[in-house]
Amino acid sequence: MAAQPKHEYYETLGVPRKASADEVRKAYRKLARKHHPDLNPGDKSSEERFKNVQEAYDVLSDPKKRQMYDQYGFYSENGFAGAGGPGGASGPTPNMDFGGFDFSEFFQGAPGAQGGAGRRTETGGFRDIFSQFFGGRGAGEQAQAEKGGDLEYVMDIDFWQAIKGTQARVNITRYEVCGTCHGSGSSGAGEVTCPQCKGTGHVTQMAGAMKFNLTCPRCNGSGKLRNACPTCGGDGRITHTETVEIRIPPGARNGSRLRVPGKGNAGTMGAPPGDLYITTKVEEHPFFHREGDNIEIKVPVTVSEAGLGARIEVPTIDGRTQLKIPQGTKNGQRFRLREKGVLNTRTGQRGDQIVEVAIEAPDPRDERTRELLKELSKLQSEDPRAEIWTKV
């Protein structure tokens, strides 16, 4: 069933109407990573936004659909009767059958229109015009080879896998070339129900307030595919689940996108396959916090260590190291350990580790501790909040 778009596709992707195909693709990938449901669990607004972004890209990434949308603000949930698949590959577009529809009220006096009121107008010219936008092909024309669609998967990895890098496996479901017919869709004998129209011989299409009955482009209205391959139903491709080895490089971030060439859906009629894209979702660490290539950690110190100064052991992603705490260190003071952060594989340089100290007050459980604290308070008689009162 067709529908009018609920939102403006160019606005959804944040691109101008004259944006190139590459600009549309870059905008889509950026927004898809940002709003992917697996990266925003439980966030219904992100899930809805992701669906809108996907819908807009499905239309604007296809030159024929985009041309139709630019002309009429029109799109189809059938993908113009295309044969999609895992990851969203579009397929061939339908022949349009305008027989039985009277266009005289729209085309009286137009070039090529014949007859006046009460006479049926020839619709051949109108059919030809619409065929340009729908990309319809005649019964004698051959389908064109189309590159396979890309696949998008999200992979969960832990903090250390992201820092050190790892080899991981992911199970994917994709279209691959049918082994029976080798992608031709034909077996030379028998017939099967057309998978595009489900045996009805036609599909419907909406253009504004007008509803058109379209002859199914796959079976030409018969509802059956003769000499179709019984394995793939004439599509030339079958779904297949396989395990793919993924190399996660050191320093991978939450939302990093990895490309595996040729592991998307198979193309039609010998066209090349699409690619597989893996988006990483990194689990948080209980102590280390990553900010870009830097690692941040909060380390507790005692009052005496902060006041008198000390050398303390602090954890890093490489193991333990020594940190000098100077005399009179304040609570929340931050220290930098050079090149103790994450390796950036693009620059070949490492980030830093930022250590924030948290001074812990002693627990006066015994009388001796209380006496020492009382003596300390007498030695430090100044009000630590005095500066606040001067500025309030």
Output DSSP code: residue 28.
H
For 64, the 3-state DSSP assignment is helix
Helix axes 21-35, 44-60, angle to 10 degrees: 160
Q: What is the pLDDT of residue 300?
A: 95
Cβ neighbours of 188 (radius 10 Å): 9
Q: What is the rounded distance in angstroms from the CA atom of residue 341 to the CA atom of residue 339? A: 5
Residue 381 to residues 302, 329, 385, 387, 389: CA-CA distances in angstroms? 21, 19, 12, 15, 17
Helix axes 63-72, 44-60, angle to 10 degrees: 100
The C-alpha angle 109, 111, 116, rounded to 5 degrees, equals 30
Rg (C-alpha) for the chain, rounded Å, is: 33
Q: What is the rounded distance in angstroms from the CA atom of residue 391 to the CA atom of residue 132? A: 74
Residue 258 structure tokens:
């990895």
Burial class for 225, CB neighbours closer than 10 Å (0-12, 13-18, 19+): buried
Q: What is the pLDDT of residue 209?
A: 57
pLDDT of the chain, 392 residues: tens digit per residue: 344 445 688 888 999 988 898 898 889 888 888 887 777 777 888 888 888 888 888 888 888 788 878 876 654 444 433 333 444 333 434 444 444 444 433 433 333 333 333 333 333 334 433 443 444 444 334 456 788 889 999 999 999 999 999 999 989 999 998 888 887 777 666 667 777 787 888 877 765 556 677 888 777 787 877 677 878 777 788 888 999 999 999 999 998 899 999 999 998 877 889 999 999 999 999 999 999 999 999 999 999 899 899 999 999 999 999 999 999 999 999 999 999 999 998 899 999 999 999 999 888 888 888 888 888 877 877 777 777 777 76
Cβ neighbours of 198 (radius 10 Å): 11
Q: What is the pTM of this model?
A: 0.55
User: DSSP characters for 283-300?
Assistant: PPPSS-EEETTEEEEEEE
Q: What is the rounded distance in angstroms from the CA atom of residue 369 to the CA atom of residue 376? A: 11
H or E element at residue 359: strand 353-360
Q: What is the rounded distance in angstroms from the CA atom of residue 325 to the CA atom of residue 340? A: 17
With CA atoms as reference, report the closest residue to 13 among 1, 38, 30, 37.
30
Q: What is the pLDDT of residue 387?
A: 75
